[in-house]
Amino acid sequence: MKIVVLGAGVMGTAFTMPIADNGHEVHLVGTHLDGDIIEEIHETGVHPRLRSRVSDRVTPHPIAGLGEAIRGADLVVLGVNSHGVAWAADVLGPLLPPHVPVVMLTKGLHGDGSALRVLPEFFGSRLPGGQAINVMAIGGPCIAGELAARRHSSVVLSGRDPVALRTLAQALRGPYYHVWTSTDLTGVEVCVALKNLYALAVGLVIGLLEQEGIASNGAHMHNLAAAIFAQGLYETAYLVRLMGGRVESVYTLPGAGDLYVTCQGGRNSRMGRLLGLGMPYARAKAEHMPNESVEGAMLAEAIGDTVHAMIRTGALDAGRLPLMLRVIDIVCNGAPVDIPWEAFFRDTE
C-alpha cells in the first residue's frame, strides 16, 4: 500500500515504523508547524523529539508537498493533535479521493455548545459537500517512544465497516504491532479521548505527594491515585453508554488499557503534577510546557462549555461526572485541587 501520514509529531512518526517494516510505501507529511522536524529528518534521518531513526522506507515532505504525496495513495493517516482536526479536514478535503479511507490517530472530542461528538464524525462533517469517506480510528495503550523503539504494542482499529477493518488490520499487523478490530467506533473514541483528561487527574497525585511528602513509614499515595483512576473509568463508562458506545470498550484496551499507560508518565502526568502543586493551569502551561500539547487540558477546554450546557438541559447528569467537572474547573477556572470524594461512585439510576 501507499500510505500517507499527515502530521510529523511523535505519534504520527512512530506509526510509520510498523507500517514501513511491513513493506508499505510510506510518506510522512509535516503540518505547517512541523517544518523543523521534517528538515531534521531530511538532514539526519532522526526525529528530534522521538530521538529515533526514521525508516529509510519513509519519505518526508513539508506541507507544501501534500498534494504530490497523496497522489495514488491507498490510505491516509491523520496524526495531528486534536486542535488540528478541522484544519486537516480543510486541507485534505480538496485532495482526498472518495475511495481512500482515513485512519485517525488523533484523540479527543468535539463540543459545539450543545452536544459532544467523536472526532471521526467531526472530521467527516468538515469535508466539503458531505464527502463520503470511510473514517476509521486507532486507539489503545501505545506510547509513541515505545512504538518507535519497536516494543510490543497492542491497539484497536475501530470503524463502521467490519470487512474494511479486517482488511486494514491485516495490513497493519506486525511482529510487535498487534491490532484487534472493533465496530464500536463511538465507544473506542470516547475512551481514548477521556483517558487524557483522567490521566491528568491521576497526575495531580504526584504534586500532592510532593507537597505532603512521603510518610515516615515510606508510604506514598497509591491508594489516592487508584481511586481517581477507578472513578475515571466509572465516568467514562457513563459517557460511552450515553453516546451510544459499548461498555466493553471501557474495560479493554481503549479504556482501562489506554488510561493505565497514559498514567505512567508523559505530558498529562507532568501537567497534573504542576496543578497538584497548586500552580494555576495558565501559569503552568506558559512557564513549564509552552510548546507542548497537553491533550487532557486541551480536552477540558474543548468540551467544558458544552458539558455544562448539556448538564443545564438535562442531557448530562452532573452527579455521574464529578471528577470530570473538577478537572474542567481546575484547568479552565484555576480552581484549587480538591478531590470530591463524597460524589464518587454514585449510582443515580
Catalytic residue (choose from 2, 107, 195, 285): 195
- Indicate whether 179 and 193 sit together in one domain: no
Same domain, yes or no: 193 and 148: no
* Alpha carbons 284 and 278: distance in angstroms, whole number: 10
**Nearest 10 degrees: CA dihedral of 28, 34, 36, 39?**
20
Do 203 and 176 fall within a single domain? Answer: no
Same domain, 316 and 199: yes
Question: What averages of pLDDT result for each successive group of 10 residues across the chain (349 residues)?
Answer: 97 97 97 94 94 95 96 96 93 91 96 96 86 90 96 97 97 97 98 97 96 93 96 98 97 97 93 96 96 93 97 97 98 94 79
| Domain final residue pick, 141, 159, 183 | 183
So what's the pLDDT on residue 132?
A: 78
Q: What pLDDT is stored for residue 348 in this prediction?
A: 47
Verify that 213 and 277 share a domain, yes or no. Answer: yes
Q: Are residues 210 and 338 in the same domain?
A: yes
Question: Containing domain of residue 232, as a range?
Answer: 186-343
Confirm whether 348 is domain-assigned. no
Q: Of the residues 145, 163, 183, which one is the last residue of a structural domain?
A: 183
Are 167 and 313 in a shared domain? no
- Are 47 and 73 contained in the same domain? yes
Residue 285 among the catalytic residues: no
Q: Is residue 288 domain-shared with residue 171, that is, in the same domain?
A: no
Say how many domains are in the chain: 2
Q: What CA–CA distance (Å, rounded) separates 25 from 57? A: 6
* Last residue in a domain, options 124, 149, 183: 183
| Separation of alpha carbons 347 and 287, rounded Å | 40
Question: Do 168 and 218 fall within a single domain?
Answer: no
Residue 140 belongs to a domain: yes
224 burial via Cβ count (<10 Å: 0-12, 13-18, 19+):
middle
Query: Quick check: 41 and 60 in contact, CB under 8 A?
Result: yes
- Domain membership of residue 255 (yes or no) is yes
Q: Are residues 208 and 177 located together in one domain of the fold?
A: no
Rg of the chain over all Cα atoms, to the nearest angstrom: 20
Residue 241 belongs to some domain of the structure: yes
> In this structure, are 165 and 219 located in the same domain?
no
Domain with 85 in it: what CATH number? 3.40.50.720
CATH of the domain at 302: 1.10.1040.10
Task: Specify the pLDDT at position 128.
Answer: 82
Residue 318 forms part of a structural domain: yes
